[in-house]
Structures are given as structure tokens and as C-alpha cells.
Structure 1
Amino acid sequence: MNYAKEARDLDFAYKVRHALNESAENLPVATLDRLASARAIALSRKKQEAPAVALAFRGILAGNTGLSFQGPTSWLGKFGVVLPLLVLVMGLFGIYEYEQQQRINDLAEIDVAVLADELPPDAYLDTGFSAFLNKEEE
């Protein structure tokens, strides 16, 4: 229902514009000049739009050939690229070493549990003993 009203309003606006355009052709030149000057005055009083704010970083897109500490060609710029990569590699290496140490600690705990148990280690290798443990769990 709202769509039909909008369509009627739009159709009415087109008809009014068409009628005004037809009648504007028949206006005297003095009236057209007065309308043009009134339009110019109205446009001069129009509020200026606020300028758009954009952040621009020097040397990122255009390239920086000057002597400065910014840009991909300076030693500081190269260090700024290499440092995060170095930190990433060191972090991954640290995570790998930590996981390996955790695995070694887990295996050591299992070894201590097996050696501290009353059963001999050969009992754990026996398939019949595994079946016996599985039956007891059920």
C-alpha cells in the first residue's frame, strides 16, 4: 500500500515538472533573468558542505624516494617489515618447543606410572592382559 502511494506521488511530481518546463518556455526574458539571479543568490547562501576527511600516509602508494626513515627503501622501513616476520617465526618456534616438552613430560609420567606399578612391563605387552583390562572396565 505504501508503494502505491509513493508511485502516485512520483507520478504527480513528474507531471508538475513537465508542466513547469512547458510554461517556462513561454515566460518573458525579464522574468527568466530575475529567476536566474534568485537562483544564484540562493546557491550563494547555501551552506557549504564539510570537507571529507581522509587519512593519507606519506610514501605508501606513491613510493618514497627521499632520504627519510619512512618507506620500504630505508633501513627503518626494512626493519619494520623484517621485525614482525622475525617475531612470528620465533613465536612459532617457541610454540613447537613447548609442545615437544609437554609431549616428553607426558611420556615421562606414563613411564613413571608403569615402572611404579606392581605389574612387570611385559604384562602390558601381552594381548591377553589388554583383553582382561577391557573386560574389567565394562
Structure 2
Amino acid sequence: MQSPSSTGILVTLAVLACTGLLGWWWRRRDGRLRRPAPSTAPAPAAALAGIGVPPGVVTLVQFSAPVCAPCRTTRRVLTQLRSDLPGLHLIEVDVEQHLDVARALDVWRTPTVLVVDATGRVAQRAAGVPSADALRAALTPLLAEAPR
């Protein structure tokens, strides 16, 4: 049997290192709340109204799909937050049925959670399963500012 060449070993190690770094980056980014980039899509407010986001209410909008396993985890997190934080509204949107809205709001994967403030502006967003603590920290000041 022939011994592996040093070039082959180096290429294998480089591929493994790159894969490890990519996995680390993805896990670090997954579910993290971030401020949305300025949208070039026409009328995100109209898209939000089209899926039933009520005016004057802080709302969590979850975009999900029937075959999405992380969507079930996200649903449990959001449902628990809704019961813990009075005045919070929750809407789940099936991306297969509302693909036009998903495109207008720049949703590219499921689950995606949008935190919509009382003025109807998307204040935060997360692609992946967000942590309950991060959502609570983002929602508390928005709920305090919301009209009652």
C-alpha cells in the first residue's frame, strides 16, 4: 500500500479547517437578533399589514414551513414569550402560502422571526431559532413604549 502524499494530507487538513470555521461562523450567527438592513423592497408596511400585523401593537412574526423542524422550537419559544409578556401579539406565517410577503420582507430561510414595533417598523430580525433571553431584552423596551 502506498503512503499518502503530503500534498493530499495538507489539502484534507485545509478542507477540514475551512469546514470547521464555516460551521463555527454559522452556529454563531444562527438565531442572533440583528437590526434589519434598509429595505429596497416596496412597502414592507403593506406586506406586514397583508399578513395581519395590527397597528399600534408590538408583534412577533414567525415565518415557517411545515417541514421545518427548528420552526417548532421557535414556535415554543415565541408562545412562551407571548404568555410571559402582556401586550405582545404573535403571528405565524407559512412561507409556502405567502411567498410574495416573504420576498417583500427579505425572508430567505425558515424560521425567520421579525420583531415589529408599535409603529409597524421591523425593529429586529433573526434567522434561525432565537434565544428567549435575547428576544425578551429586545421586546421589553418596545412594550414599554407601546400605547396601551
If the length of structure 2 is used for normalisation, what is the TM-score? 0.24
Q: Which has the higher helix share?
A: 1
Q: Quick check: which has more Rg, 1 or 2?
A: 1
Which structure's relative contact order is higher, taking Cα pairs within 8 Å and 6+ residues apart? Answer: 2
Structure with more strand by fraction: 2
